[in-house]
Structure 1
């Protein structure tokens, strides 16, 4: 499970309307019949119109300055393993979102308890993802695609009589480049804009910066976890505990759907990897044999290439060079929208 929280931001200024973002989230509904479209939903309603989403978010901005974000965007990205476990069921995902937003509310540090009823949010399920320019597969195919594009352009020039050459030889070279390209879908080299295969379902959530009564500012972008500040001579509580939120959101999924989470899928493992790679690998190698085997399968499916030096067999063998190679492989696999781990 991978969750991101980003503030509303367009260029060098904050828009005064959520309209553009809502329109962006409607892109997957284009050319679909009404019964096939995914609808926005909130804590109590399964169908909320895009117009109402824009209206509700736009009018809930009391006392916010022009250069302050009016809303935040959450993206919940279940892994393909998690999606298979729940049968990619949108009803279960809606159930999960409604529970997760309770954890989101509980992560705020305020003078009074913040509950999900204080949160004004709208969520939408999407089923597709497309490759972007910074995806590993696109980058590793780039040299081949550039050469293919050049040769295809040469063929067009040959047809127009602008250059001379052997079209058959050029066509054979193109076929060989397509064959050699490291990443393909149905025989076609992957490029930017192509739809990703497999289960890619994820959820976008637009959350108002202000509470449901348009009085209290609830910013998950706060740099504070839990602190107190003086306001008009009084101490007030502030902050948002992201670690708590991410950890609880993961546990919520496991409890709801009886999911047996492997160590490498956990939020705590991701933190350990970033802050203490030696500790991460030590725990990985200390897992029971069956769980360690499953962990390496999960890592492999995520695109982590095992270093040529091999995986260390014990803590003593956690050589610096091996860890550096594995860290590099992990970073490559986890760039862009890779959500398997």
Structure 2
């Protein structure tokens, strides 16, 4: 499970309104019959028109300055393993969203606990993802395509009389490189813009910066986790406990669906890896044999080359050779808004 929280883009190329973002989230519905379209939903309603989403978010911005974000986006990216655990069922995913929005509300540090009914949010399920330029498959294929493009350019130069070479030899090189392109879907080389295979379901949530009364600010982008300050002589609590929210979101999924989460799938593990890779792999190698083997297989699916699934616990340094690879895979996952493990 990978969850990201992003503030509204505020540079000159973006509208002050939420309409651009809502229009973007409607893109998968284009050309689909009404019964096949996904609708916006909130805590209690399954079918909400995009026009209402824009109207409610844009109209809930009292006392916010022009350069302050009016809304935040929360993206929930279950792994393919997690999606298989719920049979990729949109109804179960909606149920999960409604439960973790309770966790989200409770993660605000305030004088009184914030409830989910104080959060103005609208969620939308999407089923497709496309390959981006930073995806591993695209980048590795690009090396071969660049060589092929150069050879094709050389052939054109020969035809114009600008270069002397053996055309047949260049054509054979092109054929060989084309056959060597490593990543394909149904025989076609993967490139930027192609749809990713397998279950890719994820959820986008647009959340108002203000609570449902349009009086109080509830910003998950606060730089404070738990902080207290003086305002008009009174102590005021502020902040958003991100770590607590991310941890609760995983536990809620596991509780709702009886999911057996492996160590490498956890937010705690990813955070440990970033802060202390030695500790991460030491913890990984202390897992029971079956769980450790499953962990390495999951890492392999994320693009990490594990040299030996039965690495002795004493050889932590050997496992650390994969640190750079794993960090690269994690960075790609974060950029793509999705994670494979």
- TM (norm. structure 1) is 0.92
Partner of residue 331, structure 1: 327
| Offset from partner CA, 1:305-331 (integer Å, 9 cap, x none) | 1259x87412x4222xx3552111102
Could you tell me whether the CA contact under 8 Å between 2:278 and 2:320 is conserved in 1? no
Relative to structure 1, is the Cα distance of residues 176 and 106 closer, same or farther in structure 2, using a 3 angstrom cutoff? same
Please list, as runs of the form range in 1=range in 2, the aligned pairs for 1:1-341 lying within 5 A after superposition: 1-11=1-11, 15-152=15-152, 169-307=169-307, 312-314=311-313, 316-319=314-317, 322=318, 324-334=320-330, 335=332, 336-337=335-336, 338-341=338-341
Could you tell me whether the CA contact under 8 Å between 2:10 and 2:69 is conserved in 1? no
Structure 2 unaligned runs (5+)?
none
Could you tell me whether the CA contact under 8 Å between 1:14 and 1:69 is conserved in 2? no
Distance 2:21 2:320 in 1: 39
Shifted more, 79-88 versus 135-144: the winner is 135-144
Distance 2:46 2:156 in 1: 52
Shifted more, 253-262 versus 230-239: the winner is 230-239
Could you tell me whether the CA contact under 8 Å between 1:307 and 1:325 is conserved in 2? no
User: Offset at 1:33?
Assistant: 1.5
User: Offset at 1:37?
Assistant: 1.1
Shifted more, 15-24 versus 209-218: the winner is 15-24
User: Offset at 1:90?
Assistant: 0.3
| Offset from partner CA, 1:152-178 (integer Å, 9 cap, x none) | 556678899998877665544333212
Shifted more, 257-266 versus 228-237: the winner is 228-237
User: Offset at 1:182?
Assistant: 2.2
| Offset from partner CA, 1:115-142 (integer Å, 9 cap, x none) | 0000000000111111111111111121
Relative to structure 1, is the Cα distance of residues 191 and 112 closer, same or farther in structure 2, using a 3 angstrom cutoff? same
CA RMSD of aligned residues (A): 2.2
| Offset from partner CA, 1:77-98 (integer Å, 9 cap, x none) | 0000000111000000000000
Distance 2:168 2:275 in 1: 55
Distance 1:160 1:193 in 2: 33
Could you tell me whether the CA contact under 8 Å between 1:7 and 1:71 is conserved in 2? yes
